[in-house]
Each structure stands twice: as structure tokens, then as C-alpha cells.
Chain A
Amino acid sequence: AQSVTQLDSHVSVSEGTPVLLRCNYSSSYSPSLFWYVQHPNKGLQLLLKYTSAATLVKGINGFEAEFKKSETSFHLTKPSAHMSDAAEYFCVVSSDSNYQLIWGAGTKLIIKP
């Protein structure tokens, strides 16, 4: 069975400093992995997606994530945080059946001025 663990419920960084949001997964096969973002009082938006092509995936707004099979990780990074990055971020893995997505609990990213 698949599962997703987001290692931090909250991450706080200063504007202009790097962002690291951590995600570990377990899967019995080669999964598809996603990061979604939810800004306050808004819907969910796909940030990036990994589907067994390049292990380093580039997404929107300068974010990227690296798939590391040996570590079963899919951490999200950004070199320089912007105030507009303040949001909740969800790491997601695709189920091995019925097209269901397994969601992590989310990480709230706080940007300090």
C-alpha cells in the first residue's frame, strides 16, 4: 500500500532564503509523485509532477523537486523564497489502483519579511 509522510507540519523561512519541504513516500511500485499548493482561501494547484522520466522535476514559480528512489524521498525546494510563496503544500503519490491519489498531511510554509 502507498503512503506519504510530510516531515514538517510548518516551515518558516526568511524572504530570499532557500526553501526545503520534505516528503517521504512508500510504494510497492514506481509511483507518480506530485506537489500541490494551496494559497489561503484558494483551491489546490498542481506545482509539479514526477512520472519516471528525469529525476529532477521543475515546476511553476521556481520550485523543483528531486525523486530519490534509494531514499524514497521527493523533497520540494526553491532557491529563494518570496512572500507570495506563503501557502500550504501537499505531497501526493498515485495509488497502484483505481487512479486514487494518496495525500500527505500538508506543510504550511511561512515567509518572514
Chain B
Amino acid sequence: DSGVTQTPKHLITATGQRVTLRCSPRSGDLSVYWYQQSLDQGLQFLIQYYNGEERAKGNILERFSAQQFPDLHSELNLSSLELGDSALYFCASSVVADEQFFGPGTRLTVL
């Protein structure tokens, strides 16, 4: 158990819908990272927050957004969902600049 929690574990929705994925980092970790893992694209870094502020952006679509709240939990919002958005979404957290601890992931299925 890494100490990072993600909810929900599974999510099934329809194209065009909007969903919110939630992540609670390990106690004391200020950085939160979001990743997408799909069969065809592999593991893709989406976005990083540090203490409430966006720190780095990766391959995140404009339909996706994220935020980190004062209690350090983070939410990833995915809107206008497409079939291709079906994937595992991981959250990770860290204290030091690079060592990251991963949550169990949220499996999103778009029908």
C-alpha cells in the first residue's frame, strides 16, 4: 500500500459525458501527478501540481483539467468523453523532487 488513494476504482460512462477522478496523496506529500495508461499509448504524463499550483503539463488534452485543493487532494476532470479516453488513470504523489508513489488507479471505460 503506497498511501495514495484514488476513487472511484472503476468508472463506466458514455461518450460526451463528464467525469471527475479523485486522488488523495500520501500524508506530507505536496506534489501530485496524473498519468494516463492505455494499451496503444502506454504510460503518459498528464499534469503535475505542487502545493495547489500547476507545476508541469504533459500530454493533457484541452478537454481535461485538474486542480489541487488546500487539503492537497487533487481532482482530474475529463469532459466531452470519447471512446479513446478509456484508460487507466493513475495519480502519484511525492515529497522529494522525483521519487513518486502511485495510487491503485481508476479504470475509465467510455461506451
B43 within 8 A of A: yes
CA distance A44 to B104 in the complex (A): 8
B42/A98 in contact, CB under 8 A = no
- B102 pairs with A99, CB closer than 8 A: no
**Are A42 and B104 in contact, with the CB atoms below 8 A?**
yes
- Is A101's beta carbon under 8 Å from chain B? yes
The closest CB in chain B to the CB of A33 belongs to B98
Choice from A34, A36, A43, A46 contacting B104 with Cβ under 8 Å: A43
CA distance A44 to B105 in the complex (A): 9
Q: How far is the CA of A42 from the CA of B9 in the complex (A)?
A: 11
Shortest Cβ distance from residue A91 to the other chain B in the assembled complex, whole angstroms: 12
Across-interface contacts of B48 in A (CB, < 8 A) = 98-100
Q: Is the C-beta of A58 less than 8 angstroms from some C-beta in chain B?
A: no
Let me know if A94 is at the binding interface, CB within 8 A. Answer: yes
Question: In the docked arrangement, what's the CA distance between A17 and B97, Å?
Answer: 36
Interface size (A, Cβ < 8 Å)? 18
Q: Given A43-B90, A45-B2, A101 and B45 touching (CB < 8 A)?
A: yes
Bound form: Cα–Cα A98–B97 in Å? 8
Interface band, chain B = 20 to 34
Cβ contact within 8 Å between A106 and B97? no
> Does A32 belong to the interface (CB within 8 Å)?
yes
> Which residues 32-60 in A have Cβ within 8 Å of B in the complex?
32, 34, 36, 42-46, 49
Q: For A36, list chain B residues within 8 Å (CB).
A: 102
**What 1/0 mask marks residues of chain A from 77 to 107 whose CB sits below 8 Å from any chain B CB?**
0000000000000100010001111010110
On whether the beta carbons of A100 and B58 are closer than 8 Å, the reply is yes
Contact A90 B43 (CB under 8 A): yes
The answer on a CB contact under 8 Å between A100 and B45 is yes
Asked whether A106 lies within 8 Å of B94 as measured between CB atoms, the reply is no
Chain B 56-74, CB within 8 Å of chain A: the 1/0 string?
A: 1010000000000000000
Is there an interface contact between B100 and A101, defined as CB atoms closer than 8 Å?
A: yes
A66 to chain B, nearest CB (A): 19
B43 touches A106 (CB 8 A): yes
Q: Is the CB of A94 within 8 A of B103?
A: no
